[in-house]
Amino acid sequence: MEFVRPFQDIVRWSQLSWVPPMCMVAMMFVDRIKVVAKAGDGGRGCVSFRREKFVPRGGPDGGDGGKGGDIILRADEHTDNLASLFYEPLIKAKKGAHGMGKQMHGRGAPPKIVKVPAGTVVWEESKPGEQQSVINNQQSAMEPLADLVRPNDEYILCDGGKGGKGNVHYKSSRNRAPRQYSEGEEGEEGTFVLELRTIADAGLVGYPNAGKSTLLRRISAAHPKVAPYLFTTLHPMIGVVDFPDYRRATVADIPGLVEGAHDNLGLGHAFLRHITRCQLLLFVLDMAGSEGRNPIDDLQHLRREINLYDARLSQRPWRVIANKMDLPDAEENLGAFQKRFADRIVLPISAKESDGIEELKRELERWLSEEGSGKTVLTDSYARTPEKSVLE
């Protein structure tokens, strides 16, 4: 689900007599949101003179102002989406304290820590008159400001302003009683777009009702919703697959794609962005054609949508999983499919009946190892996706 609201809308939300309860927001999956951030201003410098017994002409002793608070984004392994920012789209840090006499500096404001899920990408929203906004062009070539991939990665979104100088800095032989001081600098501010891209070693890609959620239930302990209608899965689900020798890999259940997803038809971009980090794509096909489609056409359409969305994704390693082999016509369609794609390894399974699941897990471990990143993938789920992969 995507929440992109201008600043005026953010202000109007505070004027509403009814806002969604926290329990409703907790059920949302927010993977893209626009926020307005304002770091704290620096404290003002102090004008003060030393007044002490037996110390004539004590001179200036005004201290400097404190530094304003920074706004820091921190990747948190216990956060899975950006719903926490739904109620806080306007992020503000505290101001620094003013300077005081006796050359005492003002206290610096603490940083404002904003926890985001690992895999969050940060863009700066364009100003009016500049290049096209990343909000309106999700495939924009704009370079992101930050990519928080690993837990505890941090990025300073806005720097706090420096504190102003007290009058002690302006004394000289010709100005022995200065009354000048400087105001603290203003903290940085801006409008930013935060986008979550799910981190997983392998992604299950397919049409709605292809059996991806059922398959994820069988190979991991995840419990995605399963129902006999389209778009049962509305947001990515991550499952951890355990292998022998205490190794594991993460598999993402990507919501079903439809033709035209690269043009953002349906929920195209909201789904396709989550496979950009997957090092291996697993195309789950309804080999029985129970939805009235041909599995050969399904694969061609899925590959085409991915290539049109991002040509680099089509160069990623991919495998084919033939699901629903327990249904009629599945064997006949599998024979025609293997004849059409003779150079591809097709693994037949039945996720509903749990047939071929153990073999799939063994093959998944081998596939991930064969891509030359077995040590990284199977031990570190937050490894970066390589820019180049070899397509067999």
* CATH assignment at residue 297: 3.40.50.300
Q: Are residues 210 and 188 in the same domain?
A: no
Q: Are residues 254 and 354 in the same domain?
A: yes
Domain at 141, CATH number: 2.70.210.12
* Within a domain: 388: no
* Segment 111-141, tens digit of pLDDT: 999 999 888 999 888 655 444 444 444 444 5
Amino acid making up residue 292: G
Q: What distances in angstroms separate CA 66 from CA 106, 110, 113, 195, one per listed residue?
A: 4, 10, 19, 33
Picking from 6-15, 42-51, 315-324, which range would have the lowest pLDDT averaged per residue?
Answer: 6-15
pLDDT at 256: 60
Q: Are residues 264 and 213 in the same domain?
A: yes
Distance CA 53, CA 51 (A): 7
Q: Which of 321, 330, 256 is nearest to 287 (CA)?
A: 330
Average pLDDT in the chain: 79
Name every residue whose Cβ is closer than 8 Å to that of residue 332 and which is 6 or more positions away in sequence: none
Q: How confident is the model at residue 389 (pLDDT cuts 50, 70, 90)?
A: very low
* Segment 334-349, tens digit of pLDDT: 999 999 988 888 999 9
For residues 154-160, give the mean pLDDT.
95
The packing angle between helices 357-368 and 212-219, to 10°, is 90
| pLDDT > 90? residue 67 | yes
User: For residue 162, what are the domain limits?
Assistant: 1-196
* Segment 251-303, tens digit of pLDDT: 888 776 655 544 445 444 566 777 788 888 899 998 988 888 888 988 888 88
Q: Are residues 188 and 215 in the same domain?
A: no
Query: CB–CB of 212/254 below 8 Å?
Result: yes
Query: CB–CB of 184/65 below 8 Å?
Result: yes
Q: Which one has a higher pLDDT value, 373 or 96?
A: 96
| pLDDT > 70? residue 7 | no
